[in-house]
Amino acid sequence: MSTGGKLIVFSAPSGSGKTTIVRHLLSKEDLNLEFSISAASREPRGDEVNGKDYYFMSTEEFKKHIKNEDFLEWEEVYRDNFYGTLKTEVERIWAKGKNVIFDIDVSGGLRIKHKFPEETLAVFVKPPSVDELKRRLKERSTESDDKINMRIAKASVELATAPQFDEIIKNYDLPVALEEAYQLVKNFVGKK
C-alpha cells in the first residue's frame, strides 16, 4: 500500500464523544479530511446506510476479506462480530488528495499507528468518568443493559491504553475538546 496523505485516528471507549468530535473536524474544509468508512459484519441499526455509515457484509464475506489480506486492520469485537478498515478505502481517499480520518476502536487505532507511524496522528478521547460513560450509553437507549455493561467493562480496559496514543483529549467540556482536536489536527496536517 503506497502512502498518500495523513491518517488521523480518533479512538475512545463507546460514549466518549469521539464521533461528535470527528463530525466537527470533517466540517472544517481547511483540514482536507474524508471519513474512512469501516466494514462491519452486522446488520444496519436504525437509519444506518450501507456505504455511508459502514460497509455492511456477512460474517462469511468478512472472513473472506481477512483471508485475502484486504484489511489494514480488523478485529472480532464480540463473537462473529467483526469490524475493520479495508485498504481500498484508504487508497480511495488518498487518491482524491485528502487526509483520512478514522472513528475507530482502540486496538484498531493502535494497529494503524503501528503500520504507519510517521503518517498517523493517534488521538485518544477520554470521557470524564466511567459513570458518565454509563449515563451517556443509557441515554442513547439503543442497547440492552447487558450490552451496555459489556461496553463499560471494555471501556476500563481501553482507558488503560490511552498512554500509547500520541495525544489525549479529555472530553469534559465539548466546545473545549472540539477546539483542542481542531488545533491538533491542523498542526499535524500542516506538517510536511
pLDDT for 44 equals 92
Annotated binding site: 12-19
Q: What is the DSSP string of 67-84?
A: HTT-EEEEEEEETTEEEE
- Sketch the domain layout of the chain as residue ranges: 7-187
Q: Please give the model's pTM, rounded to 2 decimal places.
A: 0.88
pLDDT tens string 40-98: 999 998 899 999 989 999 999 999 999 999 999 999 987 889 999 999 999 999 999 99
Annotated binding site for ATP: 12-19
Q: What is the DSSP string of 72-118?
A: EEEEEEETTEEEEEEHHHHHHHHHTT-EEEEE--HHHHHHHHHHSTT
CB 5 within 8 A of CB 96: no
Architecture (CATH level 2) of domain 7-187: 3-Layer(aba) Sandwich (3.40)
pLDDT averaged over every residue in the chain: 92
